[in-house]
Copies of this chain bind each other. A is one copy, B any other.
Amino acid sequence: MPVNKIKIVLDAMGGDFAPDSELQGAVEFMNNPQNHDVQIILTGDEQLLRNRIKNLNLSVDFEIVDCKDKVTMDDEPTDIIKRKRDSSLYKGIEIVKDAKADAFVSSGNTGAVHSTSTLVLGRIAGVSRPTIGTFFPSVADNPVLLLDVGANVDAKPSYIFQFAVMGSIYCSQILGIKNPKIGLLNIGEEESKGTNDVRETYKLLKASPLNFIGNIEGRDIFSAHADVVVCDGFIGNIVLKFAESFLGILKSKIKNYSEESIIKKIKVGLMVPILKDILQQFDYQKYGGVPLLGVNGVVIIGHGKSSPEAVKNMLVRAKEMVQKEVNKSIESTLKDLIN
């Protein structure tokens, strides 16, 4: 095995469809000859994983680090380091910490990945708070990255400014967006709008070399005026969860409508497959998870419901972040901004 292989740890017990989604996604990833410079290390119950690999007839053999425990959605994020050191999540992050791998990928408990990574890996020099974002579909081809979506509540203006720096570097280096446009989530276009903290953040962004385009209102998140929209984690989390519920209410209203008459039921029957096809464009799976930006290591977090495709794309993202040395760019950019 050549020494320069990129090593990615995949939390095989993480998502709602683990370990099958994880195993199938990893195989899909490895089936691409372009990824033969990557070695995947699975963390999880070795016996279980070997059985699933056999039952699923998967042809690739992975290195497996056996862990007897796993983190669930009910685990308190800050408790993992105390109580679940034999979990696939903790052990996976520890492998990166010990420099035995370059990146960690998980579709498990987001809060737990965030806290454990921050505690175990530490922060990139110059970063006050690591951040998690999410990609929103937009009217343009590129998705919009909203940061922070819940990792940081009551975030100081200087933290939100750093989110903008990290988001800008990520979009530029990983998504290939040249000089990404940065927007500040606010309730009006004018500089004077918003809370005291938001106005303070505006000043920091305006004075920076970032491509800051000003305030973005709620109605313009989808408009793709900005490539990266920054906000406090409290508002970002509410917006994210609210957005995720929109398809639910639409579905519920369609159901009510179809129950009004036979004719309406038939009409809905004709419409639903078309609508499903269209709503695929809202599918988060293709973005392949989101990076936990600011921790001293590459960490990619996926949706609990990650499909094999999503897992594959998360591995692609992790590989890119390692290859393009995004964390080094964050460190040097923040250093330059301070000096």
Contacts and interface: CB of A to CB of B under 8 A. Distances in A.
Interface string A303-338: 000000000000000000000000000000000000
Interface in A234-293: 234-235, 237-246, 248-250, 252-254, 256-257, 267-268, 270-271, 274-275, 277-279, 281-282
A185 interface: yes
Main secondary structure on A side of the interface with B: helix
Contacts of A139: 248-249, 252
B243 A242 contact: yes
A154 to B, nearest CB: 5
Interface residues of A, number: 53
A281 to B, nearest CB: 5
A226 interface: no
Q: How many copies does the complex hold?
A: 2
A194 interface: yes
A99 to B, nearest CB: 35
A239 B237 contact: no
11 contacts: A153-B187, A154-B195, A187-B234, A198-B234, A218-B238, A222-B248, A239-B242, A256-B281, A270-B274, A271-B271, A275-B275
